[in-house]
Amino acid sequence: MGNQFDINFMVTIALKAAIRYVPITLELALVPFVIGTILGTIIALVRLYNIKYISKILQVIVVIIKGVPVVLQLLIVYFAVLQCFDSVAKTLHLSIRAKNINSVYIGLVALSFFATAYISEAIRGALTAVKKGQYEAGYSVGLTKVQTLRQIILPQAIPVAMPMLCSNLIGLVKGSSLVFMISVTDLLNGALITANSNYKFLEAYVAAAIVYWILCIVIEKISYVLERKFYSFNGR
């Protein structure tokens, strides 16, 4: 009997613990997503217009970040902060030390690198999906590159990018579970804490999976609604 699945524990304890840490998980996903969207758009535009030297440098950086697992990025940023921050702080005569930094911020930085690389590729793909004739049409009526981009290209590229942006956000929600490696308690680890005393880890994992599933469904629904609105706005 002791090995039976304890649904009561899962619902009343593990599930509640997981829900309690949903705000941390959303913070670890949404903040890097916003930062990644801003920086990723800039990178995509630089690469789209093939700005000399900068485009190649950014391409190499994106390839490097995409080639390193997010867990390694997280650990590299964490240990880099631990080893370098104190030296820099002493040089600048600052009282703050690495031990005083909330690990959540380190997680946000590492996940932002990850998000920027992948979102830049999603946006670049959406921009290149717009036919070249649309660019030429803008220039032919006297619009500048910025005006053409803002008034013609982006309104068409955004709905194309929405599915990939949704996938990137969902990836960040799930990837945020790795922050336990730098001593941050998120949705998954909050649920697992409840199983430490009674070893009901299966119940805790299932509870966390249910919450992740609900979050991802909500994100997909919102993405679908936004995608339809953008398409209707463009008259499609």
The string of pLDDT tens digits covering residues 54-110 is: 999 999 999 999 999 999 999 998 888 878 887 888 888 778 877 778 889 999 999
Query: How high is the pLDDT of residue 65?
Result: 92
39 contacts 118 by C-beta, under 8 angstroms: no
The Cα–Cα gap between 5 and 192 comes to 15
Domain ranges of the chain: 1-21+186-236, 22-184
Instruction: Give the chain's mean pLDDT.
Output: 88
**Residues 164-185, mean pLDDT to the nearest whole number:** 91
Looking at the chain, the whole-number percentage of residues with pLDDT higher than 70 is 97
Q: Where are the alpha helices (DSSP H) in 49-178?
A: 54-66, 70-91, 103-129, 132-140, 145-148, 154-175
Calculated CA dihedral for residues 126, 130, 132, 137, nearest 10 degrees: -130
Residue 117: closest CA among 58, 201, 179: 58
Query: How high is the pLDDT of residue 198?
Result: 85
CA-angle at 163, arms to 158 and 166, nearest 5° = 100
Q: How confident is the model at residue 1 (pLDDT cuts 50, 70, 90)?
A: very low
| Architecture of the domain whose range is 22-184 | Orthogonal Bundle (1.10)
